Amino acid sequence: MTLQRKSSPRLQGFDYSTTGYYFVTICTADKGLRFGSINNGQMVLNESGNIVKDAWRDLPNHYPNLQLDEFIVMPNHFHAIAILKQGDEDRFGNLSLRKNHNLSEIIRGFKTWSARRVNERGRKVGVPLWQRSFYDHVIRDDKDLDSIREYIVNNPLKWELDKENPRNF
């Protein structure tokens, strides 16, 4: 019996280290409600949710070509806009020689660090926090960017209708 590897959800032939805006969605393993709850249209983070939020905010300290835009931690998933830049310029206008990390490397680091911290706090070892992969969308223009920002900001208000809400499975 030959095991087939699940195909990558990434856009074939696209360079995910290219300067640009990327929308990502990452779901928890088994879509378990791990990060808090929605109360009156507001996300209320629990300790694990705060760890995830802090891990995301810390990423630019490890990936200098990353800037963060809008994001939200939901009860069982995470939405964010990540902005990738090409290199940094020093004060003399010279490009740095630092490595430009691609989107998959950045998300892998985020998932690893956040899962490790959540599991340490819960005194669990090796318990999956996240699903294997993640959804991404290359943002192509300002209209697309504005629409996605609005979607992220309003996500808690629409939780009752959200396809990630276990009540809607």
Beta-bridge partner residues of 130: 28
Average pLDDT for 87-111: 76
Q: Where do the domains of the chain lie?
A: 20-88+96-162
Tokens of 129: 């926090």
How many CB atoms are closer than 10 A to CB 19?
12
| From the candidate CATH numbers 3.40.440.10, 3.30.2000.20, 3.30.70.1290, 3.40.50.150, the one assigned to the domain spanning 20-88+96-162 | 3.30.70.1290
Q: What is the pTM of this model?
A: 0.85
- Chain segment 74-86, per-residue pLDDT in tens: 999 999 999 999 8
CB 51 within 8 A of CB 58: no
The span from the CA of 143 to the CA of 149, in Å, is 10
The span from the CA of 34 to the CA of 129, in Å, is 8
Residue 8: phi and psi, rounded to 5, are: -75, 140
Report which secondary-structure segment, H or E, holds 79: strand 77-84
- Chain segment 20-44, per-residue pLDDT in tens: 999 999 999 999 999 999 999 999 9
